[in-house]
Amino acid sequence: MQAAAGLSLFGRVPAWLRAHDPELAATRRAMRAAVVMPALFALCDVVLRSPVMATYAAFGSFSMLLLVDFTGPMVQRLRAHMGLAVAWALLISLGTLVAHETWLAVTTTVVIGFAVLFSGVVSSVLAGASTALLLGFVLPVTTPAPLSQLPERLAGAGLAAASAMLAISLLWPRPDTDPLSAPAARCCRTAAAQLHADASRLARGADAAGVRACRKTADEATAAAADLRSAFDAAPYRPTGLSIGSRALVRLVDELTWLSTIVADSAPPPDDHVVCDPEALAVRRAAAVVLERTADLLDTRDQAPDELHAALETLHAAMDRMERGAPVLLPVQLPGPGTESGVRAFIEALDLSFRAQELGFATLQIAGNVDLVAAAERRTWPERLLGLEPGAPNRPLTAARERAVAHLRPNSVWLHNSCRGAVGLGIAVALASVTGFQHSFWILLGTLSVLRSNALNTGQNAIRALGGTIAGSIIGAGLLYLIGHHGTVLWFLLPVAVLIAGVAPAAVSFAAGQAAFTVALVILFSIGHNPDWHIVLLRVQDIGLGCAVSVVVGLFFWPHGAAAAVNRALADAYTDSARYLAGAVEYAVGRCGALPSSADAPLEEGLEAAAAARRLDDAFRSFLAERGAKPVPLADMTTLVTGIVGLRLAADAVLGLWQRAAVRHAGTDRADARMVLLGAAGRVSGWYRDLAVSLARNSPVRAPMPRNPAAEATLVASLRRELRDDDGRASDTAVRIIWTVDHLNAARRLQPSLEQAARHGGSGPA
């Protein structure tokens, strides 16, 4: 019975780990550290008789095996670790040089802290290594020593770096795949299957087999989209890294969610009233092929994207043919509709082609994103280090400077984090100097314990950090009391403590991880000395001082918490995206008129909207990285973030639609159609600007806009009167005007879900 119970427990532990540690990423890192760190410490302390080497080897291996997890092929990861080792050597040397002068140590700490933290905006490599880099400077600057010790410090760090590189390549290597790739590929394939089934249904008519096939593929596509969103939302932080490819996969989740909505809305009705448009069906089939090739590239990113590019050319050609053929579908020669239903029927004559155009555009965006993911995997190491976008001009330093400048603004999450971290570390170094250098490392440890999470929930993190530290200190003191003078037992406890310290933050909680880390430090610093549990308890006050520094600095630099930070980023993104949509329609109005227009393509507005979306992505990632209960439901916050994607895609689609227009059509000024477009754009963008204000101020949200039959009637009258060619048929300008109104209506149809999400997030209805 006992053996069976033991086997049952042995089977439950891996299952529990897989449930609480997706992909076993934290477990993998912890097991490596549990093997390497104690071995290096024993080698340097017992065999080589160098406590200095032992300390730097232990913290170096902890830093390089637990605090970083580089992505990409193995060669790229080894290069990243080599770069981290070189950076550690430079930071250790600098920290050793400035540690003896307090003012110099404080000033250098502030500069280095800000530079390390803010450099994360440049590339994922630097962002993922920021905490490890900070530890490489904090350790020497808080433990002043003569320069004669520098070689031993560097030797310990070098030994840790070499061991870490061997460990990541030989001990349970990290898989190259991203956890979102497989569900994203399945989502693409099921959407493609639904498009094929819908196209066959539209071509053959309302037969029972076609209806069943459409229903089956629609259910599978809906389930695949839900599985993708669940994989994205299941973890307390995004299940991807910060690399270009990973960020593209994050955007892909939003775009595939948007595509699933479009595919569901464009499905043929389950009755006999099916209209066949051969050109629109060709676009659907071409889009389905693109999605299939996109899924193939997601499954095998190292393959050549030639088949995807060929499918994209076919889709572009099909969309061009559909745009040229769409004017014949408008019944401009029939008597004018005199009722609301007649007006709607006139506009919906292009509904099938518009849905195909919307599907095609969304598919192009998704395929371009996946192509970017694959291209990012093929970048060289220098391009990865400097965050160079695939396909961008070969100006890596210029690109890095542009990204950094984009975050030098008061509402940047990254700027707030960097300022808070730099000032917090500087104050902690000054405080450590005043209280005595024997306390300095522990004070910096308390500061770093809070800073290593993020700046959004400082008070809560400080309480959890201090609580976990107190619990860990009590547990450590209890262990030392029980062990007494049997110090050899500590060598056996050290690997277990390191393993738990690595797994607990991801699998249990931030506080549990802090407690386990404190126990590991207590054991590490007690090896080779007479265990004294009184000293362990005294260190709680030092760590408490460090946590207090983080709280005070955090309250100064970040007074409102996670949800408010994301709300401000959402407000900026909605404001800029609404401006971009209005600018795209203004450009369309200039293109559809007969008179010359000074309106240029809103490229600057598009860049500003994209930059605001990137800042929102940073804030949302930080929001998801905070463990514990969310003040705003995650589903509602995700809905608000995804709404930005829909709004920007509508603006992109309108802009691309009118940029493809070859020439302005001669004739009248089309004043009525122009006024309808401007009025609709003003109302839609105005609603989103009001939403931005409500999110920023936590004020009531306006009710969603209803459909405007009067404006539609005016538009139809204008189209029938002013937009015929010499043969009396509708011109392609008429098609573009109707499609522009359709894109505005698509943005309007987002409003009910956004209003509901904003209301649940704290803003009441207006």
Residue 612 belongs to a domain with what CATH number? 1.20.120
Residue 640 lies in a domain: yes
Question: 3-class DSSP state for residue 304?
Answer: coil
Residue 348 shares a structural domain with residue 210: yes
Residue 23 is predicted with a pLDDT of: 67
Residue 628 is predicted with a pLDDT of: 46
Joined together, the tokens standing for residue 348 give 């919906």
Residue 487 lies in a domain: yes
What is the residue type of 263?
V
| Residue that is last in its domain, among 327, 360, 379 | 379
What is the residue type of 674?
R
Q: 297 near 308, Cβ under 8 Å?
A: yes
Residue 126 shares a structural domain with residue 195: no
Residue 711 shares a structural domain with residue 754: yes
Q: How far apart are CA 590 and CA 596, in angstroms?
A: 7
How far CA 576 is from CA of 398, 611, 658, 678, 688, in Å, comes to: 24, 9, 20, 18, 10
Residue 431 is predicted with a pLDDT of: 75
The widest CA-to-CA distance across the chain, in whole angstroms, is: 103
Joined together, the tokens standing for residue 561 give 């918490």
Q: What is the chain's length?
A: 766
Residue 601 lies in a domain: yes
Residue 150 shares a structural domain with residue 255: no
Q: 623 near 637, Cβ under 8 Å?
A: yes
How far CA 451 is from CA of 422, 425, 608, in Å, comes to: 10, 9, 30
Residue 668 shares a structural domain with residue 737: yes
Residue 1 lies in a domain: no
Q: How far apart are CA 593 and CA 664, in angstroms?
A: 7
Residue 728 lies in a domain: yes
Residue 406 is predicted with a pLDDT of: 65
In degrees, rounded to 5, the angle at the alpha carbon of residue 338 between the alpha carbons of residues 676 and 588 is: 20
Number of domains in the chain: 3
Residue 506 shares a structural domain with residue 577: no
- 435 membership: H or E segment, kind and range: helix 413-435
Domain span at residue 592 reads: 564-760
pTM (2 d.p.): 0.67
Burial of 14: CB neighbours in 10 Å, binned 0-12, 13-18, 19+: exposed
Joined together, the tokens standing for residue 739 give 């499609």
How far CA 360 is from CA of 204, 424, 519, 656, 699, in Å, comes to: 22, 50, 57, 12, 38
In degrees, rounded to 5, the angle at the alpha carbon of residue 249 between the alpha carbons of residues 243 and 251 is: 105
Residue 601 shares a structural domain with residue 645: yes
Residue 155 is predicted with a pLDDT of: 95
Residue 594 shares a structural domain with residue 516: no
In degrees, rounded to 5, the angle at the alpha carbon of residue 560 between the alpha carbons of residues 607 and 540 is: 120
Q: How far apart are CA 690 and CA 704, in angstroms?
A: 11
Nearest Cα neighbor of 358 from 681, 659, 740, 642 is 740
Averaged pLDDT, groups of 10, the chain, 766 residues long: 49 67 76 91 90 90 84 76 91 93 90 86 72 86 88 94 91 70 87 85 68 78 81 50 56 77 70 66 90 87 80 90 74 56 64 80 85 71 57 54 68 74 79 65 60 46 67 77 74 87 77 79 72 59 62 54 70 92 88 61 84 76 54 72 84 85 56 81 91 86 83 72 57 79 86 84 51
Long-range contacts for 306-314 (Cβ within 8 Å, ≥24 apart)?
308/367, 308/370, 308/371, 309/371, 311/286, 311/367, 312/364, 312/367, 314/286, 314/289, 314/290
Question: 3-class DSSP state for residue 202?
Answer: helix
Bridge partners of residue 701, in order along the sequence: 765
Nearest Cα neighbor of 633 from 464, 759, 505 is 759
Residue 5 lies in a domain: no
Residue 358 shares a structural domain with residue 333: yes
Bridge partners of residue 765, in order along the sequence: 701
Q: How far apart are CA 431 and CA 424, in angstroms?
A: 10
CATH classification at residue 186: 1.20.58.220
Q: DSSP per residue over 444-500, as a string? A: HHHHHHHHTT-STTHHHHHHHHHHHHHHHHHHHHHHHHHHTT-TTHHHHHHHHHHHH
Residue 166 shares a structural domain with residue 50: yes
| Residue that is last in its domain, among 502, 526, 557 | 557
Residue 235 is predicted with a pLDDT of: 44
Q: 159 near 89, Cβ under 8 Å?
A: no
